[in-house]
Amino acid sequence: ARVEQCDVLVIGAGPAGSVAAALLRQQGRQVLVLERELFPRFSIGESLLPQSMEYLQQAGMLQTVVEAGFQFKNGAAFVRGERYTDFDFRDKHSAGWGTTYQVQRARFDQLLATEAARQGAEVRFQHSVSAVDLDGVKPRATVRHADGSDYVVEAGFILDASGFGRVLPRLLQLETPSNFPVRGAIFTHIEDGIAAPDFDRNKIRVTVHPEHCDVWYWLIPFAAGRCSIGVVAETSFLEKYQGSESERLQALVMQDPSLRQLLQHARWDTPARQIVGYSANVKSLWGKGYALLGNAGEFLDPVFSSGVTIAMKSASMAAAVLQRHFAGIAVDWEHEYAVPLKKGVDTFRTFVESWYAGGFQKVIFHEQQQPEIKRMIAAILAGYAWDESNPYVRESKRRLKALEEVCA
């Protein structure tokens, strides 16, 4: 087979891959991005966090995103029965962006990939990485084009940004199970028809199921009167619902009185989809000649919309390490990449675990809220999970546990 050369091979043109490609172009690297699908393609992960704006800005992609006309987002609202509480991300402990967008990923990912290409990355669609060989001086990947032809790419370094494709974790047997129970989501896009004057389109709305505190719904408003709606539960719970995905989703949504009321005029015009067992982990985030970005590494849980932010953060960190690597400096991927990346992921993990155990729900629905503490939690919900000046980042487990006890 034909052998091509490049400085960096990026597998996948999702947010992690496109941001990494743009940052590497800024360093003057020759970048090849191989994407299995043809864009635009559907992807889940539609509510961004303000922290991600910093990485879009670094990657020179902010203007494109701002001008695309996506739904503005300034916070998160939580609903349980009659209780409503919300966080305005502009009122937060950490410095940095306090607003962002809610995006249809088909369009968003296409914009980022186009921008990476405009900055000089070569982006090839319908080229799928099927094998890797790390034994030589340089890593090599075997690529299959949609027309059935194969070729080989020899790269200075490989960044795996293949998301749920998990290319290198599968090929290199890096996968380890997540500690979370197996959950799934059923979701779709609707014409929401929401007329309630007090409905805040600028916030994601997370609703706790009326009877099961570990079952929740997302309602993510988009521009032009549309929404993403989904439900998350353990698969054993979802399996109790029969019929098409759309029937199952609507049956579950109708169980919550506030959603039933809010969506009474909705048009369910798009078939629903289901995704199960998405939480995943790996033994290592790097090895000789490669590193894993975003979901190709670890994926926790969708409840705090942290996935795209973590994906872009990982791209930004990996690009910085590669800059030193290509400058001939001996780099330590474990201490310069994996350990600091996982710090923020672990902050989210603490909050995710507490959410499903019910403790964090007691905190946010508690009647007396201290403004200073609320601003620290708002910062984490806005994605600033690496800001060690925040006590709920620095000592997230201990602090959150203490707060849960106060609110119990």
**Binding residues for ligand FAD (CB under 6 A):** 11-17, 34-37, 43-48, 128-129, 161-165, 167, 185, 275, 278, 293-296, 299, 302, 305, 307-309, 311
Residue 280: what are its φ and ψ, rounded to 5°? -150, 155
Cα dihedral 263, 47, 218, 396 in deg (nearest 10): -150
Instruction: In angstroms, give the least distance from the CB of 91 to ligand FAD.
Output: 21
Q: Which two tokens stand for residue 278?
A: 């998405």
Residue placing its CB nearer to ligand FAD in the complex, 115 or 404: 115
Instruction: In angstroms, give the least distance from the CB of 398 to ligand FAD.
Output: 27
Q: Which two tokens stand for residue 89?
A: 């991300």
Distant-in-sequence, close-in-space partners of 224: CB < 8 Å, separation ≥ 6? none
Instruction: In angstroms, give the least distance from the CB of 204 to ligand FAD.
Output: 7
Instruction: In angstroms, give the least distance from the CB of 46 to ligand FAD.
Output: 5
Residue placing its CB nearer to ligand FAD in the complex, 188 or 309: 309
Cα–Cα separations (whole angstroms), residue 375 to 94, 299, 318, 404: 8, 26, 30, 16
Instruction: In angstroms, give the least distance from the CB of 296 to ligand FAD.
Output: 6
Rounded CA separation 371/367 (Å)? 12
Residue placing its CB nearer to ligand FAD in the complex, 73 or 80: 73
Residue 284 half-sphere exposure toward CB, CA atoms < 13 A:
10
Instruction: In angstroms, give the least distance from the CB of 294 to ligand FAD.
Output: 2
Would you list the DSSP string of 258-319?
HHHHHTTT-B--S--EEEE---BEES-SEETTEEE-HHHH-B--STT--HHHHHHHHHHHHH
Instruction: In angstroms, give the least distance from the CB of 280 to ligand FAD.
Output: 10
What spatial distance separates the first Cα and last Cα of the chain, rounded to whole Å?
64
Residue placing its CB nearer to ligand FAD in the complex, 221 or 302: 302
Residue placing its CB nearer to ligand FAD in the complex, 14 or 98: 14
Residue placing its CB nearer to ligand FAD in the complex, 165 or 169: 165
Instruction: In angstroms, give the least distance from the CB of 311 to ligand FAD.
Output: 4
Rounded CA separation 299/297 (Å)? 7
Residue placing its CB nearer to ligand FAD in the complex, 280 or 403: 280
Contact 269, 192 (CB under 8 A): no
Which residues does residue 234 pair with via DSSP β-bridges, in sequence order?
183
Residue placing its CB nearer to ligand FAD in the complex, 256 or 404: 256
Residue type present at position 71: Q
Nearest partner of 299 among 315, 287, 290, 311, judged by Cα: 311
Nearest partner of 321 among 107, 110, 109, 20, judged by Cα: 20
Residue placing its CB nearer to ligand FAD in the complex, 163 or 344: 163
Instruction: In angstroms, give the least distance from the CB of 113 to ligand FAD.
Output: 9
